Structure formats: structure tokens, C-alpha cells
Structure 1
């Protein structure tokens, strides 16, 4: 498996114009951030508990359009010891309304990563933009039969009968989320390895349940040789640094999600560790500083 930022001759010229992977090391652990593309979502989902004018003012300050915004999708590949771990899998290719997402399978291939080398998959949660890539036609056949898929027990139980009463999502989304999770559990149940609160997937690679965004939402913490990195999944969104108390429409327990967000941002700021998240602009690698009652995102300088 190749974990680097270099160009591979097998990739197409047009693809090379779009940065889609970024490699870094956490001590002895290799990490590759892979872009699955972007979703176009309505801004109403960005903050459901504030005055629309306040939300619009934030969008304007960030030079973003008032009605819709691009929602980045990032996936991790982690290599620790003899384990190669995929953290989430992007959207997949079954959603024609999102033509600029679902690139994860071919971008892994362009990075020189053989799917048969993946020993473990860690799911931060089971929303369609995190499990959909594993449902692409032919994907399961390319993965090894002894693949282990790790998810919080609370997450698996939730999707048996999901409650969307506290979410504020576009009308088609809940049904699609429900059907995607049902299909995923049907296809991968025999390979699921659930945990209660925390599980060490490989040396220095720990998945920990946070709840909030979904009941079993989890983050992945990497630690090796004094270096640390947290993959925050959907605990953090771009607006969450300035306004960590703003509720996102996809959060199943918005108040708990806000508490999780603040706690996690304070932890990461205190340790000075690297932060990566699903929906921060690619490559979403940076650090967090505390600014009064809010936070400040400090993007890393690209190393290539």
C-alpha cells in the first residue's frame, strides 16, 4: 500500500488537477486523508437553533453563498503495525443528487491502495455518507473475507429503529438514511465487531464512542511516539469553531452533540494534537486554539 502525496502514473490527467489525498505520519502510524468529494446542502441544515439572519451573516462573513454550501467528505486510511484500517467509506455511487461525491473507491485505487489489504473498517457512525462506499457494486467482493468492521453497539441498535424526531433534514434524507443503514447491516452484519465505549483496533489506534450526533457516534484517536491525532467524524463542522453551540440538522441529539463538540475541541486545544474531521475542507488537517468562548481553526501547512 502506498501512503504518500506523490503522483502515480496510472492516474488520469484530469484527476491530477484535483488534490484528493494527503499523507502524514503520527509517530510510527501512517495516515492518508482521502477526499470523497463534496455534497451540496441547504444552509438551513447548518444551524437550526439560530435566527436565519444570524446564520446568513455568518455565511456572508465566510464568503459563502446564502442558500447552499459545499459539504466536504473525508475518509482516513491508517496503517499501524500489520493492520490497515479504513475509517468510514464516503457516500458511494447510488445517489444521483450528489454528482460531486462518491469518489472514494477510485481515489483509493489512484493512491495505490489495494482494497484486499484493508484488515479493518472503523465506522464513526452509520449515516449514508460514511457507509455508502462499502455498498458500491463489487466492493464487498474486493475486500478480504476476514475483514472486521468496528462500530459502537449503541449505533447498531439505534439503526434497528431510528428516531429522527430531533433532526431537521431535507425531506428525502431520513428515508434514505434508514434504507442505507438497513442494507449495510444486512450485508456486513457477520463482519461487525461492536464495542461499548472504547476499543483499540490496532497499536495506538483507539475508537471511542461520544454519542450526540448519533447515539453511537465515535471518534478515532491515534497516538504514537509522542504524536497524537484525532479524527472527529461528524462531531465538528466548519461553523462549530465560531459557534460550537449551533445545532446541525443532522444531529440526532443536538444538545448532547454541542456538549460533545465543546468537550472535544477543548481536549484537542489543550493537547495541541492534530485534528481531522469528515466535513472540514480537504485535507482537513490542522490544530485548534481557544479564543474566548469559541475556538479557532489553524490549518496545517501542506507538506509535499
Structure 2
């Protein structure tokens, strides 16, 4: 499987040099057989360390954070989205945070970073949503974005996800104050804005040749993953099923999980699958560019980051 930094999505291979305001890379390209994949950073979110594992003993969680050179109280969670080109289809997987929350100013960059990569929003034929949390749909709610998208844009999301946000249950989450209200209002606004373009599926749907979205549940009832397969190569975008701590402690519950036990079960099954197949993994909140492999390590797993290809 070859990693490439010159991706041919639209004019990406002739994209402009990084501007002076971009101090670190914000996009990374990889080829999966004949399919092109571009991971794009939407920025970072500063969140409490406890969100990684609210069912773990505080001392055990604190020790893990320290061993991984992470701050004890709060640290930056990456936000990654993916663009896939298969044949004549250009697919955006998740859309980032958006800009409606001024306090989260270090996120919400995906639209101008797509532009910097030479990707015209009007070229996007499909959007796939792993779920409808605000850091996955917010980019489509930025002022002026809808007008730049194709009128025939298809937005693929599990039917169970749309149903859930009609009356969401937050009884089992462990989020900072204000997040449930923000998540609820953003999902409601998103459905109102894009209802006519939603294309729901029950369990699985092939968006384009070699690009299949599958409902997993767990994190939210309609949470889904996207598998990209071509020429014997494989890449899975896991959305919010896998976090940084999830390899060593897949049984730890993330604060945003609406069904923690189911999320842990699905996470373990996915990590076993990836360890067995050797396919690449990308996840929303793994450090950018979040491309790597999964290996078995005793009763748990080990993250093996891919070597960057310049």
C-alpha cells in the first residue's frame, strides 16, 4: 500500500504552498489500490482527560495519561475528516466542527483546508456521516457552505442515527456541562437544513465502488464506519469507535458514548478485525494524520503508526 502526498483530487496535486498561517501539515494523502484517500485536519478540541475513560479508576487513568506524556486534566483531541475519490465520485466523510462555537476556536478549519488542498466544494458528490455529533456535521452548517455544494449532493447516514436525534437519550454519557444541549441543537439544525438531501440506510450501503458504510451502533445508535477496499488494500475510517486509549484499554468508556457497553464490544471486534486483516485504520480523534495499523498485544491491542511518506 503506497502512501502519497501528491493526491490528484481535483487540483490537489497542484495545490498552493502552505500559507504562513499553517505551521504544521493539515492534510495527508494515501492510495488504497485505485482509490485516493485524503485525511484532513479540522483542528483540535481541548477536552477533559476524564472523558477518555469515565469508568476507570482516577489513579489508573492518571497513570495512563502520565505514561503517554499527556496533561492530567485536559488535552487536545484531534479532529480528522476524510475525502475519498473512487471513480467519478468525490466523497467527504464527516464534516468537522463548524464555527458556531467561538470558544472552540482551534477547531472548525476543514472548509478552508479543503480549499487549500484544491478541493472545490462543488466537486463533492457525496457526504457520509459516521454520526451526527456536532464535530462531525458542523462544517456543513458554516455560513455560505450549503450554497457552494451541489444541489444533487447525497448525504448518507444511518436511519437509526436520524431517528435517535429526534429525542436523544443522554442518560449514560459523561460529558462536560453544555455539551448535551449543543449536540442536540446542532443535530436538529442539521436535519432541518439538509433533510431533502439525506439518504438513509439500515445496516450497510455501497456509496461508490470499493467504499462501503456500515452501521455499528455503540457510540450512538446509528454510528457507522467506512471501509475502503481496492486491489487487495484496505482502509477503515472508524469515526469515534477508537480513541487514543482504546488500544491498551478497549474496555474503557468514552464520555461521549451513548451505549458504553455496546461501544466497547464493537470497538474490540473492529480492532480484532483490523489486526487480522492488516488494513489501515484512520479515526476522528487519533492524532493527525491518524494512519496506522493495529496489532494484538496480549489481551489488548497496540497502535502501529504508518511511516510518513514525503
Question: Please, what TM-score do these two structures have when normalized by structure 2?
Answer: 0.96
Distance 1:8 1:210 in 2: 36
Distance 2:122 2:15 in 1: 19
Give the aligned partner of residue 19 of structure 2: 12
Alpha-carbon RMSD:
1.3
The one of 201, 223, 244 aligned to 1:195? 201
Give the aligned partner of residue 158 of structure 2: 152
1:272 aligns with 2:287: no
Identify unmatched segments of 5+ residues in structure 2.
1-6
Distance 2:48 2:199 in 1: 35
Structure 1 residues 223 and 251: CA distance shift in structure 2, 3 A: same
| Residue aligned with 2:104, SS | coil
How far apart are 1:171 and its partner, in Å? Answer: 1.1
Q: Once the two structures are superposed, what CA deviation does each residue of 1:201-243 show, in whole Å capped at 9, x if it has no partner?
A: 0000000000000000000001001101000000000000010
Equivalent positions of 1:1-304 (< 5 A) are 2-3=8-9, 8-9=15-16, 11-15=18-22, 17-304=23-310
Would you say the 8 A contact 1:244–1:294 is kept in 2? yes
Distance 2:256 2:8 in 1: 34
Q: Once the two structures are superposed, what CA deviation does each residue of 1:151-183 show, in whole Å capped at 9, x if it has no partner?
A: 000000000000000000011000000000000
Give the aligned partner of residue 3 of structure 2: none
Identify unmatched segments of 5+ residues in structure 1.
none
How far apart are 1:116 and its partner, in Å? Answer: 0.2
Structure 1 residues 172 and 301: CA distance shift in structure 2, 3 A: same
Distance 1:43 1:280 in 2: 14
Distance 1:90 1:114 in 2: 17
Would you say the 8 A contact 1:285–1:300 is kept in 2? yes
How far apart are 1:13 and its partner, in Å? Answer: 2.0
Question: Please, what TM-score do these two structures have when normalized by structure 1?
Answer: 0.98
How far apart are 1:192 and its partner, in Å? Answer: 0.3
Distance 2:45 2:253 in 1: 19
Would you say the 8 A contact 1:72–1:282 is kept in 2? yes
Distance 2:103 2:75 in 1: 14
Q: Once the two structures are superposed, what CA deviation does each residue of 1:95-114 show, in whole Å capped at 9, x if it has no partner?
A: 11211110000000000000
Would you say the 8 A contact 1:2–1:113 is kept in 2? no
